[in-house]
A and B are shown apart, each in its own frame.
Chain A
Amino acid sequence: NAGVTQTPKFQVLKTGQSMTLQCAQDMNHNSMYWYRQDPGMGLRLIYYSASEGTTDKGEVPNGYNVSRLNKREFSLRLESAAPSQTSVYFCASSLQTGTIGTEAFFGQGTRLTVV
């Protein structure tokens, strides 16, 4: 069982470039999440998708867009990368969220550097 798979694992971008981070889960989970982790800041929620076809903003959505392509896949797009977006990005999934939240499973992260 692969769990949550993120691609790529590492990426260097120039300021102004765009890119899409891919995330796929094979656990038939309904809910998916994107986080960024900066040193000393813990994880901050960028966007989440409670179920297929829905997406909602998290704590720090500015500069990002997301697509819940189907139940398995949830992508994060940086339209015009900025140095402030240098971070480690984590994707996660859970069976469900909301009132009856369940444990989340995490990918191994994408280390993004914007120069």
Chain B
Amino acid sequence: SQQGEEDPQALSIQEGENATMNCSYKTSINNLQWYRQNSGRGLVHLILIRSNEREKHSGRLRVTLDTSKKSSSLLITASRAADTASYFCAYTGKLIFGQGTTLQVKP
């Protein structure tokens, strides 16, 4: 399987704390994307980072990419209860998804 791994599988934090989740992949990539899924609904795109970029920011989101280690991380700063969701990385031209991290933010 080309499916990558995300770490941790589940994360529980208090509102206001930062949340970090990691994605490792197996193939060479052109870009890597992060998505959020609320309660089994359709996924929503968060951010895209290209293989020649090392870091990218979007609001409270910070994504890093290390192609030598085949890994990426997503940092959500100052988390809110509304951030409670599952987060997935996706990569390659075929858009292969990792297994996801379930984030719970407690009020």
Contact = CB atoms under 8 A, between A and B. Distances in A.
A113 B79 CA distance: 36
Nearest to B29: A101
Contacts of A104: 33, 35, 43, 45, 90, 95
B30 A59 contact: no
A102 B92 CA distance: 11
A54 interface: no
B45 A99 contact: no
A102 B93 CA distance: 9
Interface in B82-99: 88, 90, 92-99
Contact of A101 (B6, B30, B35, B100): B30
B28 to A, nearest CB: 11
Contacts of A40: 99
Nearest to A100: B30
B68 interface: no
Contact of A103 (B2, B33, B94): B33
A75 interface: no
A99 B48 contact: no
A103 B45 CA distance: 6
A113 to B, nearest CB: 14
27 contacts: A4-B42, A33-B95, A40-B99, A41-B99, A42-B99, A42-B100, A43-B43, A43-B97, A44-B97, A45-B96, A45-B97, A50-B93, A56-B94, A59-B1, A59-B2, A90-B42, A98-B30, A99-B93, A101-B30, A101-B92, A102-B48, A104-B43, A104-B90, A105-B45, A106-B43, A107-B42, A108-B41
Interface of A: 4, 33, 35, 37, 40-45, 48, 50, 56, 58-59, 88, 90, 92, 94, 97-109
